[in-house]
C-alpha cells in the first residue's frame, strides 16, 4: 500500500510539474513608438512703410530662437514674463514678441535708422533657417544637385536628338 501511495504522489507531482511546463510564456510587450510631425510657417511682409514677420513653429525651436534673438537684439528694451519675450524700441517703431510657439516682429522704417533697419532685415532672413533647422548652405547644396541632374538630362536629350537626326 505504501508503494501505491508513493507511486500516486510521484505521478501527481509529475503531472503538476508537466502541466506547469506546457503553458506558453507570455510574449514581451511591444515597445512604444512615438512619432509626429512638426509644422512651421513664416510670413515676411516688406512695404515702403514697414517690415513685418509672423511665424509659428514647434516649441522645440523656442530656445534656439530665444538665444539667437538675445544675441542679436541684446537685453535693451527687453521685457519677459514666463516664456514670452518682448523687445521694443520707441512706442511703435520696433517690437519683437517671442512666445513658446510664435514670433511677431514689426518695424516702422521711418522711425529707425538705416543701420538698425538692415540689422533687423538680416535677423529676419536668418530666422527662417533657425525655425526650419536648415542652413543657407543646405539650399545651395540642393540647388547644386538639381543643376547637376538637369545638366545630365540635357546631355541625354541632346544625344537622343542626335540619334534621331541620324536616322
Say which CATH number the domain at 75 has. 3.30.1360
Residue 166 within any structural domain of the chain: no
Q: What is the pLDDT of residue 28?
A: 78
Residue 128 within any structural domain of the chain: yes
Assign 119 a pLDDT band (cuts: 50, 70, 90).
very high
Domain count across the chain: 1
Cα 41 off chain centre by: 11
Predicted confidence (pLDDT) at residue 64 exceeds the cutoff of 90: yes
Residue 48 within any structural domain of the chain: yes
Percent of the chain exceeding pLDDT 90 equals 44
Residue 104 within any structural domain of the chain: yes
DSSP string computed for the chain? -HHHHHHHHHHHHHHHHHHHHHSPPPPPPPPP--------EEEEEE-SSEEEEEEE--GGGHHHHHHHHHHHH-STTEEEETTEEEEEETTTTEEEEE-SSEEEEEEEGGGS-HHHHHHHHHHHHHHHHHHHS--HHHHHHHHHHHHHHHHHHHHHHHHHHHHHHH-
Q: What is the pLDDT of residue 87?
A: 92
Domain region containing 124: 41-134
Residue 118 within any structural domain of the chain: yes
- Chain-wide mean pLDDT for the chain? 84
Select from 77, 79, 72, 71 the least CA-distant residue to 93: 77
Residue 6 within any structural domain of the chain: no
Q: What is the pLDDT of residue 16?
A: 66
Residue 102 within any structural domain of the chain: yes
Q: What is the pLDDT of residue 138?
A: 67
Predicted confidence (pLDDT) at residue 95 exceeds the cutoff of 80: yes
Q: Which residue has the cell 505504501?
A: 2
Residue 23 within any structural domain of the chain: no
The answer to pTM > 0.85 is no
Amino acid at each position: 500500500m505504501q508503494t501505491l501511495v508513493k507511486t500516486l504522489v510521484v505521478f501527481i507531482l509529475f503531472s503538476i510539474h508537466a502541466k506547469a511546463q506546457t503553458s506558453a510564456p507570455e510574449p514581451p510587450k511591444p515597445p512604444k513608438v512615438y512619432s509626429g510631425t512638426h509644422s512651421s510657417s513664416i510670413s515676411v511682409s516688406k512695404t515702403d512703410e514697414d517690415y513685418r514677420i509672423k511665424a509659428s513653429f514647434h516649441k522645440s525651436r523656442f530656445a534656439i530662437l530665444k538665444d539667437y534673438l538675445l544675441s542679436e537684439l541684446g537685453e535693451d528694451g527687453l521685457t519677459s514674463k514666463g516664456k514670452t519675450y518682448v523687445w521694443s524700441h520707441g512706442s511703435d517703431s520696433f517690437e519683437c514678441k517671442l512666445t513658446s510657439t510664435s514670433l511677431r516682429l514689426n518695424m516702422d522704417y521711418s522711425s529707425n535708422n538705416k543701420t538698425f533697419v538692415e540689422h533687423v532685415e538680416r535677423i529676419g532672413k536668418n530666422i527662417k533657417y533657425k525655425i526650419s533647422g536648415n542652413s543657407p548652405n543646405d539650399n545651395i547644396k540642393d540647388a547644386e544637385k538639381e543643376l547637376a541632374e538637369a545638366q545630365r538630362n540635357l546631355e541625354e536629350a541632346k544625344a537622343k536628338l542626335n540619334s534621331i537626326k541620324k536616322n
